[in-house]
Each structure stands twice: as C-alpha cells, then as structure tokens.
Structure 1
Amino acid sequence: KPGTSHPEMWRITAEACRELLTINGVRNCGSHIGQAMSADEPYGIYFTENWVSVDPSVDYDETLGKIQETVDGYPGLIRDVQTYLKERIREVLTGSSDTVVVRIYGPELHGLHEMADKVLASLEGIEGIVDLKKEAHADMSQLDIEVDLAAAQRYGIKPGDVRRAASTLVQGEEVGDIFWDGKTYDVNVRGTPETRTNLDDIRNLLIDTPSGTHVRLEEVADVRMVPSPNVIEREGQSRKQDVSANVRGRDLGSVAADVESALLGVEFPREYHAEVIGEFAERQAASRSILIAGSVAVIAIFFLLVTSFGNWRLAALTFFTLPWALVGGLLAAYFTNGILSLGSLVGLLTILGIATRNGIMMISHFQHLEEEEGMPFGSELVMRGAKERIAPIMMTALTTGLALIPLVIAGNLPGHEIEHPMAIVILGGLVSSTLLNLLVVPTLYLRFGKSGVEGRLPQAA
C-alpha cells in the first residue's frame, strides 16, 4: 500500500521470486519495483511486478494453481495473477488489469474514499468475486515549506531562492551528466543524509544570503508536515476512484449482473455516480459491434442466396436452416467453459460462412443435374447430387478441423485467449454444419425444391 518503503518492497519481491522459483515448471522470475525514469506506468515505490515463465512441458493449469497459492500466502498485499497478454488487453481497454471495475466519479477525494468503501462492502459476498479491492489512494506525509515573504525580504532573499535551495538540499537537483563506457550517468547535488533525517534538521538548513552570510530555513519559512494524496486520478474532467475484482468459478455475465444489482442499493450523494466497466463492459461493446456486423452479413447472405439460386423459395429454405449449423458450436462452448467469449462469437460467424458455402454448393448441384443434365426431379437426383458433393464438403470440414486441432489440444494457454475458444466453437460447428448439409438440406430440397416457373426469378432476355 502507499507508504511502504523501498527496502520492504525489495524484501517482499525478492522473497516472492525465490519462493516462485521452487515451483515445478517455473523456469525464471524477474521483477521491477516502482517506476523507471521513462516508464509507461505511473506507480510509486509501493508497486511491484513479478514475471515468471512456465515450462511448456508441465501441466499449465496445475502450475498456475501453485503460483496462485504461493501469491495468496502473502497477507496484506493487493495482488493479482494473470498472463501478460490479458493484462495488456485489459489495461488498454479500461485502464485496469481487473475483470470487473466499478469506477466512481465525484468532486472530492474524501467523498470518493467514502463511496469506494461503501461500494466495496456492497460487493462482498457476491458469488464468483475474488481479489476484491479498491485503488490504493491514501494521504501521505509531505514536507510543506511556505516562504515568509516579510522575513525573506529582511534578509534580502527572494522567495524563489528559498524554494530552490531547500529543494536542492532535501530532494536534490541534477547539475550535469557523465558519459562512461557508452552509458550516461546523472550528476546530482543533494544534502547529506545527516542534514535531512527529521523535521528539525530541515528547519535548521542554512540558506545563503546576498551578503554572504547564512540564515536558517525556519527563520524565512514555515516548515511543517502536511497530509497530501498520493495520487489524484481524473477521467472526463472528473476525479475518480476504482473498486475492482476478478471473477473465478462463475461466468462473467452473471457476476456483472449481480454487481449492477448491488450498486442499486448504494445511495450516492449529489455529484457522485458509478459506472460498471472492465472486461465485461468491453465484451458487451464488442458483442454489439459483432452483432451489428453479423446482422449486415446475414442480410447479405440472404441476397447472395437469392442471386445464386434464382429462386426465392430455395433461398429462404437455405437461409432458415443456417442457424441449425451453429448448434454444434454452441454445444461445444457450453460443455467446455460455458462462456461465449469474443473468440467464440468470431467462431460462430465463421461457421455461418462455411454452412452457407456448402449449402450453395449442394443446391446449385441439384439444379445443375436437373437443368443441364436433364435428370427428373426426385429422390434419385437428390441421392446422386448428395453423393457427388460428399467429397468437397468433407474435405472442407476435415482441412479446417485439422488446422484447428492443435489449438484445441494446446489448451487455454497464455496468448491463446481468443484462438482457443474460437477453435472449439468452429470444430463443434463443423460437425453440425456438415451433418446439416449432407442430411437435412437434401431432404428439404426433395420436399420443397420441385422445379418450375413459380418461385423462379425472371431471367434476362
């Protein structure tokens, strides 16, 4: 939490790395503490990250469970275990690495802290919620030096001179650089530790005067310790604080619904409000985008079928059988993890395209046999057409399935968060779409596909 010293963070981080390296399958461990000079994460010294690499030859889920157990063995820490890719995706989408985020907006910091505590209490006990926490906002002790203008004037010292001298002695100031062996090292001037160990020492710091004498800092300034927030975060011109959690053992949609219901029981003062964001909200937004794109694609598919068959009845027949091709994909998703993720939705759209292609190939071949080869409409035509289309349809299914099997066998490894569920859905959908096109479509064509002028689109002269 804010205020933790660098030696303590070093001790905890090093001890955690040593313990993680004892786990079978963990190949290495690296860490960073706080923020580097040019880092992209604005965190204080109280923040650390440990990276571990897992040997591909071990059971990934078992190793991950042991890592989680080890991390949970450090009480009093705000902690999280996740893959690098998932963390990057979440932080880019919502600014947080957690699955569910309740973002609270308001004008006053202390009001935000109070509301964050209330929201935190309302979310406790929700099934599936783990790692529940609020952002580490806290008041830190800060040295405040306020120049006494009248006193400074008596000694002929400018207020800026007092601030610069005190800043250099207490915090230090870069005065140059040294280039050595291809590397650059900063040269800083700073007071000795003995002169800044406590408040009295700082008050007794000597400030140069224009006359060449010295004056103590407390004679020209009021030196005191004051509380100051460790961080002030804003979004949309409003101050904000997050309460976040991860989800385990339950589907994300149900947990998010319970979170929204719990927030309805929290009374927010005027000018304060909360929003549920995070992975679920972004998934909903992505799902809406896919739904819109899918709806446009479905309409385009229908007109493509009409153009291909030249027959409204056959187009409608094929179109309304397409949803049944998705049954296998939905069942595969249900029996694996029970969640329709973004990758799963992409897989369903892929199955829709494959089923449409195979349906067009099948019915177009029936029409070819009847119109070009003169076969009479009936069961013999349908049987022959179906037999002649078995090879192309099976080859499509087999080649696609063989390409996806490695992704399914590899499991839900880091980096496969999208490809793995997509591959499962496509494999399941290939089974149902292939059965649909080889068994159902020929039967329906035999029942409703009798040729004739009715239902045919007019041909150009």
Structure 2
Amino acid sequence: IHLHVELNEEIPQVQVKVDLERAKKYGLKPGDVRRAASTLVAGEEVGDIFREGKAYDVNVWSVPRARTSLTDIENLLIDVPGGGHVRMKEVADIRIAPTPNVIKRENLARRLDVGANVQGRDLGAVMEDVEKALAEVSFPHEYHPELLGEHVERQKVKRGMYLFIFFSLLGIFLLLHTSFRSTRLATLSFLCLPMALVGGVLAAYFGSGIISLGSMVGFLTILGIAARNGIMMINHFQHLEQEEGMEFGPELVLRGAQERLAPILMTAATTGLALVPLVWAGNVPGHEIELPMAIVILGGLVTSTLLNLLVIPSLYLRFASAGHHRQAENIG
C-alpha cells in the first residue's frame, strides 16, 4: 500500500551529444567538445584577481548574443588541435531536452527511489513477489533494480540470529550435561525443548501469522525458560534420590513434580503478567518488535509449563529407570 515514486521536476536543458566519427575527423575527443561547450554556454572559472583588497572570480564565457538560441549554440566555434576552428554542430548533435532538476547519487550512480508499505502480509513474502516481478522486467542498458529497506536489514540480522541460535542451543546442551552429569538425561531434556515452542508457534500463527525478528527473540526466551524449569525439575528428582534417600520410582517422581509445581507456576505467572500490557496495547507504533515477542512468549509459557509438569516427569520415570537397571546389573 501507499506506493510512491520519487519524482523530480524536469527543466529544459541544452544537451550536447558528441558524434565520435565526426569529432575524430577533426582530431577532437568527446571530452574536448563537452568542455568547450560547457565553457562557451555556461562559463568556466579560470582564476581570481584582487582589487582593493577583494577577490573576484575570473570566468571565461561567450558573448550573450552567441548563446541566445539553439542555432547560435550550434554555430559556436571550437578550437581544433591542428589549428583553426570548427562549428559545434559539425561534431555534435545539440538539442533541448527535459532534465531532472535534482539528481541523487549513491556510490557514484544515479538513483530513483520507489517506496511502499506492507499491510496484511509478511514482508518477506512480499519481497519475494517483488523480486519475481523485477526479474521479468527488461531494464535499459546501465539500469538495474536494487532492493533496500527493512527487509534487507532484517536478512542481515537473521543471518546473525541463526548463528546465535546455534551457539545458544549448544550452550544449553552443555549446561544440561553439566547439571545432570548424564548424557542420557541431558539429551532427554534437550529433545523436549522444541515441544515448549509449540504454544509460541500457535500464538504467532493465530496472532499475526508472521514470524518476525521479535518472534524469534520470543522463541529464544521460551527455550531458556523451558531449559531452566527442566533443570530444576530433574535436579530435584536427583536430590530426592541421592540426598533424601528416596527409592527411584513413581512416588519419587510424583513428589518431585508436586514440590516443583509452585515455583514453575509462579515463573510462568509472573512472566505472563509482565507481558500482558504489551499484548493489551496491541499493534501501536513503537511496539513492532515487542508485540510479536510478547505473543510468542505467552503462548510458549503454556506449553513449556505443561511440558515441565507432565512430560518431563513421565519421561524421567521411563528413561532414568533404564539407567538404574544398568547400574544394578553392573553392581550385580
């Protein structure tokens, strides 16, 4: 929506297009013709003089009557290397053409901005459609399209974000392994973490349907909360068995889950309540990143809480028991 093209007001301007073959016949280069035309028509500053303590510019210019019309300009005389003169019309085509009054450049190239806003669709999907449409357009020689703006900056950030996610996941696994001192339990807890993201994915889908930079930050936050609660839950199971002497079994897991119920619920409740104002405010200017992040975290808190209270205790009872059986066989 709001498609707009940067338009410049055009003004008439004398254009001199050098005929290379004719200019070569007189020993003139294109630059020689253009410089001579510029000097005769527009003037050229060649120095300064000082009079009574003041500096004055010295300009070389043709007499006014020699540039009052296009015909006068065509008849201007240009010096040739071998001596003598040649009329400008004999080495160049001269015409009056509309020219932009302002020419913007970037990296020494002219540019013309075409802008638009996106509403109701993902910015990435819109940019893909734009790229496909531009691929079908045949541009004149030395013209090319270049996509700029938020999408390009977002792609740069995403590349850094993916690398950050990789090292974050690696760090989470190492922390789990260090905490549990067991590769089996660390792998179990790590593989459960994606289940905590289900609520965030559903919330993002029904919220705006767009996975934005703020949403990705929300997913990372959910991973951290789920990993923290999972570590606290499994460490408590180990504490009950190793420090309080409880026998491994359903009673240990049930007691551990009950005792960790309040801390996990309080974590989810306090985090959720802190994000409610952002969601309640809605998509207002300035909340383009915070709103999708808050929606994802709120949805992820639901599934991560259910994961830590229901799934992890059950999986711990199932897979940790296998480790106990092997230990018993080794002792026997």
TM score, norm. by length of structure 1: 0.53
Residue 277 of structure 1 pairs with residue 148 of structure 2: yes
Task: Name the CA shift for 1:220/1:393 in 2 (closer, same or farther; >3 Å).
Answer: same
Shift of 1:453: 9.0
Distance 1:267 1:227 in 2: 24
Native 8 Å contact 2:104 2:112 kept in 1? yes
Distance 2:264 2:43 in 1: 84
Letter in 1 for 2:216: L
Task: Name the CA shift for 1:221/1:366 in 2 (closer, same or farther; >3 Å).
Answer: farther
Task: Name the CA shift for 1:454/1:142 in 2 (closer, same or farther; >3 Å).
Answer: farther
Over the residues paired in the alignment, what is the CA RMSD in angstroms? 2.9
Report the equivalent of 2:112: 241
Report the equivalent of 1:372: 243
Residue 332 of structure 1 pairs with residue 228 of structure 2: no
Distance 2:229 2:187 in 1: 15
Shift of 1:223: 5.9
Letter in 1 for 2:42: E
Distance 2:145 2:8 in 1: 17
Report the equivalent of 1:170: none
Native 8 Å contact 2:216 2:293 kept in 1? yes
Cα shift readout 1:293-333 (whole Å, capped 9, x = no counterpart): 01110011111111110000000000011011111111111
Shift of 1:422: 1.0
Distance 1:303 1:280 in 2: 34
Task: Name the CA shift for 1:223/1:248 in 2 (closer, same or farther; >3 Å).
Answer: farther
Task: Name the CA shift for 1:438/1:138 in 2 (closer, same or farther; >3 Å).
Answer: same
Report the equivalent of 1:422: 293
Report the equivalent of 2:191: 320
Among candidates 173, 192, 207, match of residue 302 of structure 1: 173
Letter in 1 for 2:272: G
Who wins on radius of gyration, i.e. which is larger? 2
Which structure 2 residues correspond to residues 61-100 of structure 1 after superposition, within 5 A?
none
Shift of 1:454: 5.9
Report the equivalent of 2:213: 342
Report the equivalent of 1:459: none
Task: Name the CA shift for 1:299/1:147 in 2 (closer, same or farther; >3 Å).
Answer: closer
Shift of 1:420: 1.4
Q: Paired residues, what number?
A: 265
Native 8 Å contact 1:146 1:222 kept in 2? no
Report the equivalent of 1:146: 42
Report the equivalent of 2:91: none
Native 8 Å contact 2:199 2:302 kept in 1? yes
Report the equivalent of 1:134: 5
Secondary structure of 1:437's partner? helix
Letter in 2 for 1:376: E
Cα shift readout 1:160-185 (whole Å, capped 9, x = no counterpart): 4679xxxxxxxxxxxxxxxxxxxxxx
Shift of 1:421: 1.3
Secondary structure of 1:140's partner? strand
Native 8 Å contact 1:375 1:381 kept in 2? yes
Shift of 1:219: 4.1
Distance 1:257 1:397 in 2: 38
Secondary structure of 2:283's partner? coil
Letter in 1 for 2:266: M
Distance 1:148 1:296 in 2: 62
Distance 1:379 1:453 in 2: 15
Native 8 Å contact 2:44 2:59 kept in 1? no
Letter in 2 for 1:288: R
